[in-house]
Amino acid sequence: MSIKSDVRKITTNTLQQMKQNGEKISMLTAYDFSLARIVDSAGIEVILVGDSASNVIAGHETTLPITLDQMIYHGASVVRGTSRALIVVDLPFGSYQGNSREALNSAIRIMKETGAHAVKLEGGAEIIDSVERIISAGIPVMGHLGLTPQSIYKFGTYTVRAKEEAEAEKLVADAKLLESSGCFSVVLEKIPSKLAKKVTNELTIPTIGIGAGPDVDGQVLVLHDLLGITHEFNPRFLRRYLNLHDEIKGAISKYVADVKSLDFPNENESYN
Ligand code: KIV
């Protein structure tokens, strides 16, 4: 089943307009058709098919193992469930670093095989050739600076980035470089609020924060964290809106008990 409708779609221009008008942008991850449908119908502007699928869907410790084929599977599922939001798909680790030709091929596969609207890459100056080559093919690119989980083994920890002057200066320079290369937006992950505010004020493209405080142009969270499915992950920046872990577990325990006690199925739930 695919969702088609006449609703006004969100584009990269919409996001630019929102920044200019001071209207905040909401972004959430989704990885499958059913949840994308709910997220889209709730009025989110941007759905990110994040490589966090590697953690929350596949159960890996890091985002490194997820493959381009797997990201394409998730991306295509989300596209089928979405009629309004702008859909951005992460280029996974190993599909764009160090080789701009391969980066372009990866981005083209995402666009052709999923129907998504844009791709996201992690990093600044070190991946700028890939960013430029993808943009020159007409594919919109979202940048991602600060804590970049694909580089976790370089950082060694998931703590706040760019607290030191030198790293903060590089982050500001990288953000400007991504903007001048044509990125339509930049994610700022887990950096001090003051630095995120400075970057946001100095860029004309929208910044989307996660653990970057309130003075950015929009916010993003991982859907499974917001819903309380990943209940053991408790960073300071996360606001949980539900405790689905307990709700789902409770419902399933009740089902198990009903099956065992012969309460399910009853006569109304059976065919004559
Ligand atoms: O993969 C992801 O979910 C992300 C967000 C945390 C921004 O990149």
pLDDT in tens, 40-77: 999 999 999 999 999 999 999 999 999 999 999 999 99
Instruction: Tell me which residue of 18, 15, 17 sits closest to 117, measured CA to CA.
Output: 15
pLDDT in tens, 69-116: 999 999 999 999 999 999 999 999 999 998 999 999 999 999 999 999
Is the C-beta atom of 212 inside 6 A of ligand 1?
Answer: no
DSSP 81: T
Peptide bond connecting 265 to the previous residue in cis, omega within 30 degrees of 0 = yes
Those residues with Cβ within 8 angstroms of residue 205's Cβ, 6 or more apart along the chain or in another chain:
16, 19, 179, 183, 184, 185, 186
- pLDDT for res 7: 80
pLDDT in tens, 133-176: 999 999 999 999 999 999 999 999 999 999 999 999 999 999 99
The region of weakest confidence among 5-14, 34-43, 116-125, 134-143 is 5-14
Q: Would you mind telling me the total number of residues written for the chain in this entry?
A: 272
Report CA 105 to chain centroid distance, whole Å.
Answer: 21
Pairing mode of beta strands 141-146, 86-90: unpaired
Q: For the purposes of burial, counting CB atoms within 10 Å of the CB of 214, is it exposed (0-12), middle (13-18) or buried (19 or more)?
A: exposed
Residues 33, 80 contacting (CB under 8 angstroms): yes
pLDDT in tens, 206-228: 999 999 999 999 999 999 999 99
Test site for ligand 1: of 187, 227, 238, most ligand atoms within 8 A of the Cβ: 187
Instruction: Tell me which residue of 228, 144, 157 sits closest to 186, measured CA to CA.
Output: 144
What integer best gives the mean pLDDT of the chain?
A: 97
- pLDDT for res 6: 67
User: Residue 204: pLDDT band by 50, 70, 90 thresholds?
Assistant: very high
What average pLDDT does the segment 233-248 reach? Answer: 97
User: Global pTM?
Assistant: 0.96
What average pLDDT does the segment 230-248 reach? Answer: 96
Residue 1 above 60 pLDDT?
Answer: no
Test site for ligand 1: of 150, 220, 226, most ligand atoms within 8 A of the Cβ: 220
Which atom of ligand 1 is closest in space to residue 220's alpha carbon?
7
Residue 3 above 60 pLDDT?
Answer: no
- Could you tell me the CA-to-CA distances from 72 to 31, 83, 200 in Å, in that order? 10, 18, 31
Residues of the chain with CATH 3.20.20.60: 3-241
User: Residue 240: pLDDT band by 50, 70, 90 thresholds?
Assistant: very high
Residue 2 above 60 pLDDT?
Answer: no
Is the C-beta atom of 220 inside 6 A of ligand 1?
Answer: yes
Residue 4 above 60 pLDDT?
Answer: no
CATH number of 3-241, picked from 3.20.20.60, 3.30.2420.10, 3.50.50.60, 1.20.190.20: 3.20.20.60
Is the C-beta atom of 230 inside 6 A of ligand 1?
Answer: no
Is the C-beta atom of 160 inside 6 A of ligand 1?
Answer: no
User: Residue 5: pLDDT band by 50, 70, 90 thresholds?
Assistant: low
Is 189 a known active-site residue?
A: yes
Widest CA span in the chain: 74
- pLDDT for res 251: 98
E strand or H helix at 79: helix 68-80
